[in-house]
Amino acid sequence: MTKIAFIGLGNMGGPMAQNLVKAGYEVCGFDLMPEALDQLEQAGGSRAESVTDAAQDASVVISMLPAGKHVEALYLGDEGLFNVIGSRCLVIDCSTIEADVAKKVGVKAEEQGIDFIDAPVSGGTAGAAAGTLTFMVGGSAETVERARPYLEVMGQNIFHAGGAGAGQLAKICNNMLLAVLMTGTSEALKLGIDNGLDPAVLSEIMNKSSGGNWVLEKYNPVPGVMPQAPASNGYQGGFMVGLMAKDLDLALNAAAGSKTATPMASLAENLYKMHSIRSGNTQDFSSIIQLYDPAD
């Protein structure tokens, strides 16, 4: 049986690891939160006391971490996994990080004969649980094909964007647009609400008209319009404000490097920074609609 080490069992990584267990793989996980390890064990996986223990004898290592510095430390640090795992091990990093960090890890992996892809995801916690994520992948075509059986367990769509780092670039472009859509859709809905329109009716009208978009179809920011959306659960259990702000920062840094004009993304970043100061970083990013309410 193929042994998979899964590092990072948070809101996204936990369900992804559990889907691999359900598919019959031997999954050994590590996370700093004991509760996350408990959930993996309850699903049939096993827990490790360290990342080194998790990766021992693993054929595949999958990581889902908060930021580039964590990915660098995991693989390239003095006690990094590239000093532990054998050549021909397959490494799949699903974190959303700087493309330059993904490229750096990819170069080191190639030097050591390790197959590496950056494979950030889209689809949120619901997609992670349902196994319907979209993977945006950077790496060689051969490595992508080697990783495909594992990605297909966790996701529904797999796009090979190019070489190492290309998956990260595709992801930040996607999330930059998502932030712009969420802020604009929230603004339109708030205008309708403040002028007496039913948000559910207005959402249906716009979604079937030229203003239709993914936010209106899948992720409405108004509480009660979509029972399954985070907005109807106190803005909990989704993609946190802090993570969206991080992704916007990644996008704007990439834009600065390529001298790409991104005025809408810059405005969205400012709005999310304001919202973060006012309401914190832990609510779902659709809670940006609260920014349009008068301050208490």
Which residues are the active-site residues?
171
Q: How far apart are CA 225 and CA 105, in angstroms?
A: 43
Alpha-helical segments (H) within 131-240: 141-154, 166-194, 199-207, 214-218
Q: How many residues does the chain have?
A: 296
Residue listed under structure tokens 């339109």: 188
Specify whether the CB–CB gap between 9 and 33 falls below 8 A: yes
Secondary structure letter of residue 284 according to DSSP = B
Q: Strands 3-7, 26-30: parallel, antiparallel or unpaired by DSSP? A: parallel
Q: Which residue reads 């997609």 in tokens?
A: 127
β-strands 121-122, 3-7: how paired?
unpaired
Residue 63 to residue 213: CA distance in whole angstroms: 31
Which residue bears the tokens 């369900």?
A: 15
